[in-house]
């Protein structure tokens, strides 16, 4: 078989036959193609699940094909008054996000995308088609809820959706005159006691394209169509100098962003220097480092998402996803665009990003864009990593599914 060929099966049986044909050679799975994993160098068999994108709604049970994107899911659920906490961008694949955990707009209201998973159909490394749930192959089901794509090809995800009569959505620009450290401190203080209906994102980015101009922005979602409640709880932040915006009541699907531009399948994304972490607290030292990082490097980005609420309700041992005691996710990174950075700047960016990451409880694998085998244990607790390796040994002893944040048997 041509090593560069991309195969697009339409059924689980088709995939099972392909996996049996692959034998022990690696199998790369593309489910959405939103992120840099879709640009992995060709090796072994490459399976694109995009033809398997059906979304079926049965009351609050939602069956989603392994190749569906979150935009398609949101569209399908809108007519039913339902939603699932998902990725922020329409083009994000359901499979990759869910298998890695999935921190989304409703993470404080409903938890991770993987927390809403109640079952799955999986093609195993042996080429068998099996079901996984709390009652059937429970070890496999546990591993799928945050352990990545190490254990098989998920051809169908079964989610329990939530009734959602509406949302309030706040969008605020943080002007150049605003003290970004003060904004983040006020935001942190609000989230310490905020109802779980509130989830917020803060991002400060360089100019990337017309749809994503440079600057700092705050976005907030209230899991109910009550703009007054959102305005009231955010008042300590929005009253600060330089913070300007308003609150609307869009449909949930309308807050999922379009991809900035169609990805070029033949072009690798720019380098990304930095890292991310799940943090117990957004303390003053972390805030100062994040703000300084963005100010120091023009081609850098910082991104924060509030946690807590339903995210912390799940017992640590109930899924592989780490750091359930974390209250914030934060990322700091620089774009390594050819010709923009010299070696000294690259070294400095990495050193400052490492200093930020030093205080994290764990790394979030979905925001780690490259294969780094030595870093994978830091994406889980020690107990979860041991259990994941035991599960890997049972379901994929030859490590067929290794083109990911790989967990060896």
Question: Each residue of 33-42: pLDDT tens digit?
Answer: 655 555 555 6
Q: What is the spatial distance between Cα 234 and Cα 197, in angstroms, rounded to a whole number?
A: 12
The 10 Å Cβ neighbour count of residue 232 is 9
pLDDT along the chain (409 residues), means of 10: 74 98 91 60 84 97 97 96 93 96 97 98 98 98 97 98 97 96 98 97 83 86 96 98 97 85 58 94 98 96 98 98 98 88 94 96 93 93 98 97 94
**146 in Cβ contact with 101 (< 8 Å):** yes
Q: What confidence score (pLDDT) does residue 213 get?
A: 74
**260 in Cβ contact with 212 (< 8 Å):** yes
Q: What confidence score (pLDDT) does residue 36 get?
A: 55
Question: Each residue of 345-397: pLDDT tens digit?
Answer: 999 999 999 999 999 999 999 999 788 889 999 999 999 999 999 999 999 99
Helix (H, G, I), strand (E, B) or coil at 209: strand
**344 in Cβ contact with 142 (< 8 Å):** no
Q: What confidence score (pLDDT) does residue 43 get?
A: 74
Q: Which two tokens stand for residue 403?
A: 């083109």
**312 in Cβ contact with 110 (< 8 Å):** no
Q: What confidence score (pLDDT) does residue 1 get?
A: 44
Residue 145 CB contacts under 8 Å (≥ 6 apart), including other chains: 101, 114, 115, 117, 319, 320, 321
Bridge partners of 35, per DSSP, are: none
**26 in Cβ contact with 43 (< 8 Å):** yes
Q: Which two tokens stand for residue 273?
A: 């220097």
Q: What is the spatial distance between Cα 333 and Cα 296, in angstroms, rounded to a whole number?
A: 12
Beta strands in 66-133 (DSSP E): 82-83, 117-123, 129-133
Q: What confidence score (pLDDT) does residue 267 get?
A: 60
Burial 12-46, CB ≥16 within 10 A → b, else e: bebbbebbeebeeebbbbbbbbbbebbbbeeebbb
Which H or E run contains 77? helix 70-78
Q: What is the pTM of this model?
A: 0.94
Nearest to 353 by CA among 327, 377, 335: 335
Q: What is the spatial distance between Cα 55 and Cα 62, in angstroms, rounded to a whole number?
A: 7
> What DSSP state is assigned to residue 70?
H
Q: What is the spatial distance between Cα 112 and Cα 103, in angstroms, rounded to a whole number?
A: 5
Q: What confidence score (pLDDT) does residue 24 get?
A: 86
Q: Which fold has domain 168-367?
A: Vanillyl-alcohol Oxidase; Chain A, domain 3 (3.40.462)
Q: Give the phi and the psi of residue 238 in degrees, each rounded to 5.
A: -75, -15
Q: What confidence score (pLDDT) does residue 2 get?
A: 47
Helix ranges (DSSP H) in 217-364: 227-238, 284-296, 343-357
Q: What confidence score (pLDDT) does residue 166 get?
A: 96
The 10 Å Cβ neighbour count of residue 88 is 16
Q: Judging by beta carbons within 10 Å of its beta carbon (0-12, 13-18, 19+), is residue 192 exposed, middle or buried?
A: exposed
Q: What confidence score (pLDDT) does residue 337 get?
A: 79
Q: What is the spatial distance between Cα 337 and Cα 332, in angstroms, rounded to a whole number?
A: 16
Q: What confidence score (pLDDT) does residue 265 get?
A: 56
Q: Which fold has domain 6-163?
A: 3.30.465
Q: Over pLDDT 70: what percentage of the chain?
A: 92
Q: Is 6 left (phi over 0), alpha (psi -120 to 50) or beta?
A: beta
Domain map of the chain by residue range?
Answer: 6-163, 168-367
Which H or E run contains 274? strand 271-279
Q: Over pLDDT 90: what percentage of the chain?
A: 84
Q: What confidence score (pLDDT) does residue 264 get?
A: 58
């Amino acid at each position: 078989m041509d090593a560069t060929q991309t195969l697009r099966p339409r059924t689980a049986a088709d995939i099972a036959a392909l996996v049996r044909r692959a034998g022990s050679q690696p199998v790369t799975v593309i489910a959405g193609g939103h992120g840099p994993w879709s640009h992995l160098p060709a090796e072994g068999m490459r399976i694109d699940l995009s033809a398997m994108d059906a979304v079926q709604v049965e009351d609050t049970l939602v069956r989603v094909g392994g190749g569906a994107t979150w935009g398609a899911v949101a569209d399908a659920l809108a007519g039913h008054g339902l939603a699932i906490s998902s990725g922020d961008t329409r083009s994000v694949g359901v499979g990759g996000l869910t298998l890695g955990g999935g921190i989304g707009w409703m993470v404080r209201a409903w938890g991770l995308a993987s927390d809403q998973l109640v079952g799955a159909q999986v093609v195993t490394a042996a080429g068998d088609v099996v079901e996984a749930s709390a009652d059937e192959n429970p070890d496999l089901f546990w591993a799928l809820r945050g352990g990545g794509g190490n254990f098989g090809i998920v051809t169908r995800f079964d989610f329990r959706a939530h009734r959602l009569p509406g949302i309030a959505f706040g969008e605020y620009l943080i002007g150049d005159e605003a003290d970004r450290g003060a904004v983040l401190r006020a935001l942190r203080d609000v989230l310490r006691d905020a109802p779980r209906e509130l989830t917020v994102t803060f991002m400060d980015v360089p100019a990337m394209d017309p749809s994503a101009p440079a600057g700092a922005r705050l976005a907030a979602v209230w899991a109910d169509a009550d703009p007054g409640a959102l305005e009231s709880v955010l008042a300590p932040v929005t009253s600060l100098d330089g913070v300007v915006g308003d609150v609307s009541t869009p449909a949930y699907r309308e807050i999922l962003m379009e991809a900035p531009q169609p990805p070029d399948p033949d072009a690798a994304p720019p380098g990304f220097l930095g890292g991310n972490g799940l943090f117990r607290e957004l303390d003053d030292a972390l805030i100062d480092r994040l703000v300084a990082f963005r100010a120091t490097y023009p081609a850098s980005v910082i991104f924060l998402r509030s946690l807590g609420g339903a995210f912390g309700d799940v017992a640590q041992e109930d899924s592989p996803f780490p750091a359930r005691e974390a209250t914030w996710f934060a990322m700091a990174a620089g774009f390594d665009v050819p010709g923009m950075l010299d070696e000294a700047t690259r070294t400095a960016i990495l050193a400052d990003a490492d200093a930020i990451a030093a205080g994290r409880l764990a790394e979030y694998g979905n925001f780690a864009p490259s294969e780094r085998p030595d870093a994978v244990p830091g994406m889980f607790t020690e107990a979860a990593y041991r259990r994941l390796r035991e599960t890997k040994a049972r379901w994929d002893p030859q490590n067929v599914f290794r083109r990911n944040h790989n967990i060896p048997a």
